[in-house]
Structure 1
Amino acid sequence: MTEDKKIEIVENTICQDKISELPQDLLVMILSLVPIKDAVTTMFLSKRWLSVWTMIPTLEYKDNDEMKKSVWNLLDKSMQLHKAPVIDCLRVKLGQLCPTDVDVVKWCSNAVSRCLRDLEFVLSWSADPTTLPSSLYFCESLVKLTLCHKILVDALLDLNCVVYKDEYSQVRLLSSCPVLKCLYVRRNKTDNMKKFTIKVPSLLELDYAGYDVGHALVINTPRLEVCSIYGFVGDSISIENMPFLKWAYIKLGSCTNEKLLSCVSSVSTLQFFLSDEMDWGPATLSCLSSQLEIFIWKEYGGTEEEEEQFLRYVLASTKCLSTATINLQYTLKKNHEEEHLMMEKLKHIPRASTTSQLLFKYVSFIDVPLNVFMPPYAS
């Protein structure tokens, strides 16, 4: 073989387009991993690539502070050409650069018609809040919905400080999502809702934060497994129908403990933050005596009689308890001897569960994090 022939073979091998020979599904998967702007530009490579990007199921359009113009034009033009029959995820974040005279939700309606599963819509433009298409309220394929800032929810699922037309529209919002599994709610003092109702039969995970004492919360979620509630909902809280709850994180400004804890009787792991305004009577955990397996007390001071009484009741009443973690609260005035005496005192508190263990977490007087594991109580 001549030298020129060898060079020709090498050049042909180098120039051969191996990527374009890949199956269509694999090319779509590859383009799903790059920014939408870059994916769209591949249409200019060749006829083979002209429509590949139009089938990607995940779309993300987000303004940021470094941009000189909004992604709105890209969103508007690319969605006109997009052809995927199913959209797994659509994430849109439009900021101050977005024109205020455009229809920013028309492509939301388009995505809903193509079995949309996950929608994140953040609208921070300078115009007034805008409404969503009514088709979104009845989307049976929707699994997760995140709405932020200037979106007016008038009939409807991270719900982040959104504005509702009235209480009925908020209830209709959730009832119109029949396959919703995860719900994240963030409310602030400007929230126009006095009562927030969560009645979702399909819901598995709930994360709720309210910051106004005047807010009321009603929860009816029969399949819920994970629940986080924190804020200032006071005594205006009604929780029922949670037979499958396994993990709960509760941090409230004030609340009647019996009223709240009676609703989480099936929980196996509980993180419960007590405040000075709460009733610390022994009855507060009576509903958990046959279910609780893991108990965590953060910032245990040990200086109040009520604290010790409450802890004694927990350990003496929870028959299935496997681990109780006590995070000791220290000040610089406490010395090592006092720390040791406190742990020794707590270690000998009688426990209903003969296999339970106490785990103390604290910072010593020299600021060295330590973990001290106590063996099961021997009756």
Structure 2
Amino acid sequence: MLPRLDYQEKVDGPDHDKSIWWFLDKSLELHKAPVLEILLIKLGPGCPSDADVGKWVTKAVDRRLVELKFKLCWSTGPTRLPKSLYTCETLEELTLSHKILVDFPSSSCLPSLLTLKLFYVVYKDEASLVSFLAIDTPAVIDFFIVDFSRDSWSIENMPCLNEAYIDVWSFPDIDKSKTSISRVLSLELFMTTEELVRCSAINFSRLIKLSICPWKSDWLGPLLRLLENAPKLKDLLVNYEYAFHPVERIPLSWNQPRSIPRCMSSHLEIFEYREYGDRVEEEEFLTYILANSMCLKTATVSVRPGVLKKKELTIEKLSNIPRVSTTCQLLLK
């Protein structure tokens, strides 16, 4: 009668050939609870190749399943889960991992889904992949995507979206995603110059927190245009920590803006620059932020390791940059 069932076995180590499948199969056969809210399954190489794992997912879906985490590491090929899983009205969290054959039907709709995680799964075909990228998930509030495939994808019908992390090489269908992404409160971007330019044209009317992680990009111009389209922004982070390439080889372009974004004159309170490189363009950008952010409370700047030899001189130079906000605390590291 338990509403939560958790079956976990080791997927490696000396006992990996011993499977809990028999116990899982028999216990679910005897399970009589009218509602099965949470089903967690992790099966290793010892799971029999003829095990019908899909039938218990079907049973869980029929019992108003809320959360499913399924990791299948058996020695046989990927297995397909029931199509009813991809139209489950009660499902809020779905995690699929390893030997799962993802076969999203064209009419996939998960109206209550809040969290979707896929790790090392296998797509049935190109059509299934396309169907997944067009999945209807109107309840999603957090969106996290890392995609280096350059495939087409979009963010559609996510009216509740509050937070988005986008780390991609390509964002071809950005026009289809404008409505959903423009409503986010928090946004973290890890993009190339081209994608940043396209994203900077979106009107972020609700955006409060923005993190930009430059990736082989001339990001200064697109960022300033994005700030013009984010009138309520309070927290801005420029983060070079994950720029796994010689940053100095990527040229930056700085053109003094003719106008000041509304967020800087009325809302921006927190500014941070991680791994500042002391290039002329970086200094001009930092000077512009400090000289025009009327409400700034804290400005934190950490120096890139490659600048450590002249760190003291750099910090001294930065400390002398004028600040228009009389309450701004400048923290230099």
TM-score w.r.t. the length of structure 1 is 0.66
Shift of 1:240: 1.5
Please, which of 303, 307, 325 is the counterpart of residue 282 of structure 2? Answer: 307
- Kindly report which structure 2 residues correspond to 1:56-95, keeping only aligned pairs within 5 A, or say none: 56-64=2-10, 65-66=12-13, 67=15, 68-95=17-44
Question: SS state of the match for residue 60, structure 2?
Answer: helix
CA–CA separation in structure 2 for the residues paired with 1:100 and 1:266: 51
Give the corresponding residue for 1:287: 229
Change (3 A) 1:130 1:251: same
Counterpart secondary structure, 1:90: strand
Kindly state the Cα deviation for residue 309 of structure 1 after the two structures are TM-superposed.
Answer: 3.9
User: Is residue 153–residue 171 contact of structure 2 (8 Å, CA) maintained in 1?
Assistant: no
Tell whether 2:322 aligns with 1:348: yes
Is 1:136 the counterpart of 2:100 in the alignment?
no
The answer to which structure, 1 or 2, has the higher relative contact order (CA under 8 A, 6+ apart) is 2
Distance in 1 (CA, whole Å) between partners of 2:154 and 2:298 is 31
The residue identity in structure 1 corresponding to 2:4 is: T
In structure 2, the CA distance between the partners of 1:76 and 1:257, relative to structure 1 (3 Å rule), is same
Are residues 312 and 336 of structure 1, via their aligned partners in 2, closer, same or farther at CA, if it must alter by over 3 Å?
closer
CA distance in 1, matches of 2:121, 2:298: 36
* Partner AA of 2:206 in structure 1: S
1:330 Cα deviation after fit? 2.9
Q: 1:1-379 residue pairs with structure 2 within 5 A?
A: 55-64=1-10, 65-66=12-13, 67=15, 68-156=17-105, 169=106, 172-173=107-108, 176-184=109-117, 193=129, 196-197=133-134, 199-212=136-149, 214-220=150-156, 221-233=158-170, 237-238=174-175, 239-242=177-180, 243-261=182-200, 262=202, 264-281=204-221, 282-288=224-230, 290-299=231-240, 300-314=275-289, 322-331=297-306, 333-345=308-320, 347-348=321-322, 350=324, 357-360=329-332, 362=333
The 8 Å contact of residues 227 and 247 in structure 1, kept in 2 or not, is answered as yes
Q: Which runs of 5+ in 2 are unaligned?
A: 241-274
Cα gap change, 1:233 to 1:219, in 2 (>3 Å): same
CA distances 1:121-165 after superposition (whole Å, capped 9, x unpaired): 112222222111122122111111111122122225xxxxxxxxx
For residues 293 and 92 of structure 1, what CA distance do their matches in structure 2 show?
A: 42
Give the aligned length: 286
Partner secondary structure for residue 211 of structure 2:
strand
Query: Cα gap change, 1:123/1:69 in structure 2, threshold over 3 Å: closer, same or farther?
Result: same
CA contact (8 A) 1:294 1:324 kept: no
Measure the CA separation in 2 of the matches of 1:321 and 1:215: 40
* 3-state SS in 1 of match to 2:153: strand
Shift of 1:265: 4.1
Change (3 A) 1:83 1:255: farther
SS of residue in 1 equivalent to 2:220: coil
2:264 aligns with none
Checking the alignment, whether the CA contact within 8 Å between 1:291 and 1:319 is kept in structure 2 is: no
Check 1:148–1:222 CA distance in 2 against 1; reply closer, same or farther (3 A cut).
same
CA 1:86 to 1:201, structure 2 compared with 1: closer, same or farther past 3 Å?
A: same
In 2, distance between residues paired with 1:188 and 1:334?
47
User: C-alpha displacement at 1:110, in angstroms?
Assistant: 0.5
Q: Distance in 1 between matches of 2:122 and 2:293?
A: 38
Instruction: Work out the percentage of aligned pairs sharing the same amino acid.
Output: 33
Query: For 2:122 and 2:307, how far apart are their aligned partners in 1?
Result: 36
Give, in whole Å, the separation in 2 of the partners of 1:318 and 1:149: 48
**How big is the shift at 1:248?**
1.7
Root mean square deviation, CA, Å: 3.1
Q: Which letter maps to 1:108? A: V
Report the TM-score, using the length of structure 2 for normalisation: 0.74
CA distance in 1, matches of 2:57, 2:121: 26
**After alignment, is 315-324 or 295-304 more displaced?**
315-324
Q: Provide the rounded CA distance (Å) in 1 between the counterparts of 2:307 and 2:293.
A: 33
CA distance, structure 2, for counterparts of residue 234 and residue 317 of structure 1: 32
Distance 2:170 2:208 in 1: 24
Structure whose CA Rg is larger: 1
| Greater shift in the superposed pair: 276-285 or 131-140 | 276-285
Tell me how far 1:70 sits from its aligned partner.
Answer: 1.1
